[in-house]
Amino acid sequence: MRQTLLDIDAEVKRLVARTKGKIETLVQTARDDISAVEEAERQVVRSGRALRLPRRKLLGTLAEIAQEICQPLAVIQCSLDMMTAGGLGPVSDGQGDMLKLASESAQRLKTLTDNLMALSGLPESLSPDTGIQAALYKNGQAS
């Protein structure tokens, strides 16, 4: 069972690395093209045609999706951290290994959502999950 999880984890790492590269390229391309795309959209509107999904709206929707993913991911990561630290009771070596794999996967998912937020133009200064993490740590310590 453990080897199967390690194999899955290795495959996820490979997929995440490829996806990260694709997103980084996409982010740079989107940033390079922004003024040209906005001008093209203005020309379409001036010609009397309506845009069903302007780029700005698409990127705004992408930012919202990334934010929505970050909220439960923060809860998952915080819960894993509390369990790993023994905050909910003793953790066996086997359980610790599984928690470590889960935590590493959650971190890779966080990296991907950070890249999606960068693609959408969402400011990096936003930390939507800080309050959730604080509440979880507080509740975990009270247990």
pLDDT digits (tens, 9 = 90+) for 33-45: 878 888 898 899 9
Percentage of residues of the chain with pLDDT beyond 70: 85
Closest CA to 30 of 20, 19, 38, 41: 38
pLDDT digits (tens, 9 = 90+) for 14-23: 888 888 788 7
**Predicted local confidence at residue 122, as pLDDT:** 59
**Predicted local confidence at residue 127, as pLDDT:** 46
Question: CB-based contacts of 112: which residues, under 8 Å, 6+ apart?
Answer: 16, 19, 20, 23
Please state the pTM of the whole predicted model: 0.60
